[in-house]
Each structure stands twice: as structure tokens, then as C-alpha cells.
Amino acid sequence: MSARIAKLPHLPHVPADQEDEDGDEDSEAADSLGSLPGSGMGPPAMPAVTQRVREQKPPNPAFAPISASGFFADAFQVSVPSIELDARVYYTPPVVPPGRSPSSTSVMVCHHGAGSSALSFACFAREVTDLTKGECGVLAIDARRHGKTTSSGSDENLSIDILSSDLCALLGKLFPDPKASPTIVLVGHSMGGAVVVRACPLLLASGYKIVGVAVLDVVEGTAIEALPHMNSLLNARPDGFASVEDAVEWHLKTKAIHNPTSARISVPSIIVPSPSSHTRSTGINYIWRTPLRSTAPYWSEWFTNLSSLFLATRTARLLVLAGTDRLDKPLTIGQMQGKFQMEVIPATGHHLHEDDPTRLAEILVEFWRRNDRVVTGVKKVGEL
């Protein structure tokens, strides 16, 4: 952390007579460390100004929510009684050529990070559809306690085993016959990376054809090192927001998300209306759907052994990072031995799939096309 502080740019002095009402908020946000790189712990933590009742201001239409209907073909709930979940799914299915079976197609299955939602993959999904002309589908899910997924029982447990079994059970519900299922590319961001790495061998054992596993901006070593600092960083996050537009604006101004279009789609799904009593006392109308602090008991187990499990996965492996300084020792050795493909997307933050969905789609489509050819017994779309 000391090294990162030293790298922060010098902030110019602003005379007191030039500061406006929000001057303290802006200067504090600019001076924040944000999230530790590669920590896998969600968006940056910025100094909160929500401890006092704030003057309500009209919502800014520039930050108004955008519907995901133009980014996914379908959005629906999937009941999975075995895990007591009614899971929210966003899906653009692959195009099945005449005379071919669904098993000849492919789908990228996307799992979001802690505190986020499936809609963080909305812009990416449309890019994949456009690049492949519908040849490769995209499926994104809301994990338990996230987005619009609900539970008929207790959904407090976010252990890695529960999250991994949730993903396997949901895919089993959507594609009940592994032999007739499309080939699958597992894509996981942050916490979702840990989930897909652990779910992959379970799905392979069940007979599903896994083309590859892609992990987005999470590295075990960096994540574990960041854990002691997470509570102090989370202390600085806002408790909530005056409006949905206010939440979108905060994510963009603090660089938690760089892409305004993606923020306007994804941020509304990670907040919920606050209790009326809370609103009256604080002026906060929306609170976090999944407060990151509530997931603290599971942080360590999410990331412990992630590197070794990733390297041992019996499929093609891809690691996409927002910076080159994020590899731990096992991954550094594995990269030198050619055990996985690594790509870096510059000028992005932790939510690289939102910040630059075009470049990520290009990387993953190329990864899928190359490795889909080597899946035994699977013919590519268009082949005889």
C-alpha cells in the first residue's frame, strides 16, 4: 500500500473560495487509494459522505438507468429446487444452423464478482454476439444474494462450495443432457473466477464439454495479501445513495467503473430501496443489495488455492488482468511454462469486462475459436 501511495499523482491545491458544496467529497474521492489491485474484492472504496443527511438534488438524466433488453435476447427466472434458488438468468442463445443440433454450438457462461451482478456482462455479451454473428451464445447469472436471484430458504451462505454447486445445479437445469449441451466456456470475474475454477472439474465429471476457463482480474496471492486491508477500505464506502442516478454517478466519478453505458446498466441491479425509517434519518433512498462486508467470512476460502486449482484445470486456461504486476509466484512459474494464456487490458480497472467490453470480447472470442477446435468429438458450426 505504501508503494501505491507513492505513485499517486500530486493533487493541485484548490483555494477555499473556489470550493463548492461538494468540494470535500470530490477531493476525498480523488485522494483515495481505491481497491487494491487484483484483490478480487469488488469496486474501489472511496471516502463516504453519507454519514450526514444530504440535501436531495434532482436525479441527473445523464446517469439514468439503461435497460438490458438490447444487450441480451432473454431475461428470466429459473427455479432450481435442489438448491432452493429462483435464479435470474440473462441469455443470448447461439444460432443453431439448419439441420444441426444445439450440441454443435457454444455458450460463454459468465459469473460475476462479489457485490456485482450478471448485468456487469451486458455490454460484453452484445460484443460477443456481434463478433461471432450469433455463433457463440452468452449466459450470465445472478449468484445467490445478488441481483434478482432469490431463495426459498436461507441464502446467507456464500461459501465457495455452495457457489460452485449453485452454478453446476443451474447449468444442469438449463442443459439437463450434457451430451446435447452446447460446448461451454466458463468466464468468471473476481469472486466468480474462483467459482468457475472450482465448478469446472465438477462439470467435466458430469459429461459437459468445457472449451476453456477464463478468469478475470483476480490472483490468489494479491487477493490474500489484500484481505487485512479490506475492512478499512470498506469503511470508506458510502452506506447508500439518494437515487439510482446518484449511485451510477458515484461509480463513474470514483472510477469504480469507467464505462458510462455499462454503469447505467449494471449499477441499478446492485442496489435496492432502503427501509423508510433509514431514509428519513439519513436521506439515503437506496442501499447495497449485497454489502461487501457481509461476505467477509468467505473471503479467504474464495481465493485460497485458486492459483493451483486454475493451473490444474483440465481444459484451456486464460487469465485476463488490468495490470502486469498482479501475478503471484505459482502463476508466474505457470506462465513461464506456457500453462495458460495471459492477456492484459490497459487503461481499465478491476471491472475490466465493463470498462472495455470490446477488447475483452475480442480476446475471449479468439480464445474460444482456437480451443473449440480441439474439443474431442465436437464439430464446429458449419463443419460437415
Catalytic residue among 217, 246, 355, 356: 217
What one-letter code names the amino acid at 382?
A: G
Only one residue has cell 444487450, namely 71
The one catalytic residue in 104, 190, 243, 274 is 190
| Joined grid coordinates for residue 299 | 473471503
Question: Per residue in 150-184, pLDDT tens?
Answer: 998 888 899 999 999 999 999 999 999 999 999 99
pLDDT in tens, 285-338: 999 999 999 999 999 999 999 999 999 999 999 999 997 667 899 999 999 999
Q: Are 339 and 317 a contacting pair, CB within 8 Å?
A: yes
**Residues of the chain by 3-state class (helix, strand, coil), percent to 5:** 45, 15, 40
Catalytic residue among 189, 350, 351, 353: 350
Phi, psi of 287 (to 5 degrees): -120, 170
In the chain, where do the E strands start and end?
A: 74-80, 85-92, 106-111, 136-141, 150-151, 183-189, 210-216, 240-241, 271-273, 286-288, 316-321, 341-344
- pLDDT, averaged per 10 consecutive residues of the chain (384 residues), comes to 43 39 38 42 46 64 95 97 96 91 93 97 98 97 97 90 98 96 97 98 97 96 90 86 96 96 98 80 89 94 96 97 83 94 95 98 97 60 39
The pLDDT of residue 373 is 73
Read out DSSP for 177-230? -TTTSPEEEEEEETHHHHHHHHHHHHHHHTT--EEEEEEES--HHHHHHHHHHH
Verify whether residue 356 is a known catalytic residue.
Answer: no
Residue spans per domain, the chain: 68-223+296-372
- CA dist 137 and 131 (Å) reads 11
* pTM of the model as a whole: 0.85
Q: Which residue type sits at 220?
A: E
For the question of residue 190 being annotated catalytic, the response is yes
CATH fold of the domain at 68-223+296-372: Rossmann fold (3.40.50)
116, 289, 293, 306: which is closest to 195 by C-alpha? 306
Give 74's strand partners: 91
| Residue 263: partners with Cβ closer than 8 Å, 6 or more residues away | 63, 248, 251, 252, 257, 354
